[in-house]
Structure 1
Amino acid sequence: MTAATTIVSPLPHALPDCANARIALFAIRRMGAHGLADARAAHALLTAFGQEFRRPLILMRNLMADLAGVAAGQIAIAPCCCNRMTAAEAALIAVLGRVETMPEAARLLLSDLLGTRHVDGVLASAAAVTAAFADDGRPIGR
């Protein structure tokens, strides 16, 4: 193989098929790039959830703060305009999709993503985000 055929894409994963997972990904990207108080992330959740947007917004902010506080290194996120995901984004969406049904798999994914064994707090935040989406009829799938 030549060097041109072995280039690894920085965005190896397709966007999730689930519209709810795409909403979560958009909020993750906006808050990760522009801060927890990003107005476009808040507007996206307001549009998706209507009057009940506050709970998913606050919990998403908590999740992002927990991720930043616990991660041993940087978590790669792509710009919002990208139609593919980084490996870290794909892992985070998988965690959100599995945290209720396969918590041990979600714990291992999160541990690998964050580079630490102590992920219980972040896992609880992810479960709260997933529950907030599901309670409003928007379960996060993969």
Structure 2
Amino acid sequence: MTTTTETATLIPHALPACPNARIILFSVRRMGAHGVGDARVGHLFFSSFGQAFRRPLTLMRTLMVELASGAAGTIAIAPCCCARMTTAEAALLTILARIETQPDSARFLMTDLLGTRRVEPALMAAAAVAAAFADEGRPVG
């Protein structure tokens, strides 16, 4: 049995306050565990975006594929029911929040997250996801 201190060490970050970041976090966790074609993620995007769900969902799937194929190691994600975030999840949400306004910071975070210098495909996918959310009135913050 893990104690509260051990949990805070393993999963150190609180859940994001932004509901749009929570949509992304849920989709990262579900797609990471069940694949990019997970039906619950599709339902969440349809419920959140209505008829305009296809673009953000497709770009989110693309981001997940780029993260998985571009990472030098594993990217730690927590189970969907977890009330805290891993450092990797927090970094990804920070990247999505900063990609438009602080691209250099986002690049450094992506480099750390993936453990490689070649982060352009994942960074472009992250920018596309952030833009798709913002275009639908759901900026990640």
Q: Name the TM-score, length of structure 2 as normaliser.
A: 0.94
For each residue in 1:61-105, what CA deviation from the matched residue of structure 2 results, as whole angstroms up to 9, or x when unmatched?
000000000000000001111110000000000001100110000
Following the alignment from structure 2 to structure 1, what is the Cα–Cα distance between the partners of residues 52 and 27?
Answer: 16
Name the counterpart of 2:43. 43
Name the counterpart of 2:129. 129
Query: Deviation at 1:59?
Result: 0.2
Following the alignment from structure 1 to structure 2, what is the Cα–Cα distance between the partners of residues 82 and 9?
Answer: 14
**Alignment map for 1:56-135 (pairs within 5 Å):** 56-135=56-135
For each residue in 1:45-73, what CA deviation from the matched residue of structure 2 results, as whole angstroms up to 9, or x when unmatched?
11100000000000000000000000000
Secondary structure, aligned partner of 1:21:
helix
Query: Deviation at 1:10?
Result: 1.3
1:23 aligns with 2:26: no
Name the counterpart of 1:34. 34
Query: What percent of counterpart residues are identical?
Result: 64
Name the counterpart of 2:55. 55
Following the alignment from structure 1 to structure 2, what is the Cα–Cα distance between the partners of residues 81 and 120?
Answer: 31
Structure 1, unmatched stretches of 5+, are none
1:9 aligns with 2:9: yes
Q: How many residue pairs get matched? A: 138
Secondary structure, aligned partner of 1:47:
helix
